[in-house]
Amino acid sequence: MTPEFITYAFAFPILGVFLGLVYKGIDRRVSARLTSRIGPPIRQPFWDVGKLLLKETIVPENAVAWLFNAMPLVAFASSMTLLLYIPFGILKAPLEGYGDLVVILYLLTLQSLAMAIGGFASGSPFSSVGAQREMVLMMSYEMPLATVIVGFALVYRSFSLTTIATTPVWNMVGPLAGIGILLLLVALLIVTPAELAKLPFDIAEAETEIAEGMLAEYSGRNLALFYLSDAVRGFAMAAIEVVLFIPFTLSSIFNLSLTGPALYIVEGLWFLFKVLVVYLLAITLVRTSFARFRIEQASRVFWVYVNIIALVGLALVWMGV
């Protein structure tokens, strides 16, 4: 436990929450502009969280109270832990060496699971239907997600995210495996909105059908924690995609020879820019241009089409490496 490590351990989650909320603000603004509205100011998510924290936290009468109150904490804790595994640009992840891509996969799943359990525990029919949908959706998209991870393990012979971040995947593979990696990217991009419960896969929270589903009974502090973990998850997911597929540093593209703080600042901003681009393309644009699927339609999309894409990609990678 070096002091540096402890600084990292505190700075990363705070930075992550801040960035998650900023990206959420940008997402809402851009989505509004795409639909010819003005949209809320970028700092609106901060106000939302602040207001939710001030509000009364209501536990429904027929809810399983301890489970109902624990699940927002679990979701928030797992999203905070998730942040410690993500290498910010050229910075190393604080928990590097203590876990890898598989842990990240589990931490992402844990948040959806926490929301589903919270939904079941709230004792409302809307939440129960929402939680059931979330479980079905999770069973559908976990398989392609795991396939993507296995594909990377095949290339690097390792699950470590820092190893992957330091050597761009495109330098490791030939043309055949390159096409495979591209297919894996497509599969991951389709999984992203489902993982984040965004349109067209926000089936578990469908507003017009089941009145926000799993979150229907949550209020006040509990809802604020879910809101924060949702914001962090969006940022983390985009960051993981950047680390996996576009890890190129600015210095390696332009042959810059920066050193010291300048290097960290430039590379840090470059990383945030890449995350923003992925965020806007994979989340904002998609959620603005699609309607919600029905649950069995979404299941079919993942089990048949996305699985085929991911498995073909995996096969190509396996043949190419």
Partner 1 sequence: MMAKTQYYVPVGPIHPALKEPIRVEAEVEGERIVRVDVKRGFAHRGIEYMGMKRNAIQTLYLSERICGICSISHPYAFVIGSEKALGIEAPPRAQYIRPIIAELERIHSHILWLGVVAHEMGFDSLLFWTWKGREKVLDLLELLTGNRINYSVFMIGGVRRDIKESQIKAIKDAIDFYRIFTEEMKNVFLSDPVYKARTRGVAQLSREMALKLNVCGPVARAAGLRMDVRQDNPYDAYADIEVRAIVPQDIVGEARGDAYDITLVRLYEIEQSLDIIEFCIENMPEGRIMAIPNYVVLLSKIKKTKGEAIGMHEAPRGEVVHYFKYDGTRDGPAVWKVVAPSYNNINSWAPLLLGAEVADIPIVVAYIDPCMCCNDRVAVVRDRDGRIMDYSLIHRKAVEKTMRLKRELGVRA
Distance (Å) of CA 150 to CA 56, 84, 93: 45, 22, 21
Site string for partner 1, 292-321 (x = CB under 8 A): xxxxxx------------------------
**H/E segment holding residue 88:** none
- The site string for partner 1 over 209-248 (x = CB under 8 A, - otherwise) reads xxx-------------------------------------
Which member of 288, 311, 312, 321 binds partner 1 (CB under 8 A)? 288
- How many residues lie near partner 1 (CB under 8 A)? 32
Of 123 and 220, the one with the shorter C-beta distance to partner 1 is 123
**Would you state the structure tokens that stand for residue 162, as one six-digit string?**
């820092």
Instruction: With beta carbons less than 8 A apart as the criterion, state whether 144 and 187 touch.
Output: yes
Q: Is 156 exposed, middle or buried (0-12, 13-18, 19+ CB in 10 A)?
A: middle
Q: Which of 140, 130, 126, 283 is nearest to 198 (CA)?
A: 283
Distance CA 250, CA 264 (A): 11
Phi-psi region of 182 (alpha: psi -120 to 50; beta: other; left: phi over 0): alpha
Residue 125 binding partner 1, by CB under 8 A: yes
Residue 34 contacts partner 1 per CB under 8 A = yes
Stretch that binds partner 1, among 75-83, 127-135, 159-167, 258-266 (CB under 8 A): 127-135
Cβ at position 197, least distance to partner 1 in Å: 12
Q: Which of 129, 149, 169, 309 binds partner 1 (CB under 8 A)?
A: 129
**Does position 132 bind partner 1 by CB under 8 A?**
yes
Q: Least distance in Å: CB of 217 to partner 1? A: 14
Q: Is 35 in the site for partner 1 (CB under 8 A)?
A: yes
Decide: is 24 part of the binding site for partner 1 (CB under 8 A).
no
Q: Taking contact as CB under 8 A, which single stretch among the options 10-18, 87-95, 122-130, 151-159 is the one that binds partner 1?
A: 122-130
**From the CB of residue 141, how many other CB atoms can be counted at a distance below 10 Å?**
26
Q: How far is the CB of 171 from partner 1 (least distance, A)?
A: 37
User: Are 291 and 35 a contacting pair, CB within 8 Å?
Assistant: no
| Residues 6 or more apart whose Cβ sits within 8 Å of residue 129 | 210, 213
Interaction site with partner 1 (CB under 8 A):
34-37, 120, 125-126, 128-129, 131-133, 199-200, 202-203, 206-211, 288-297
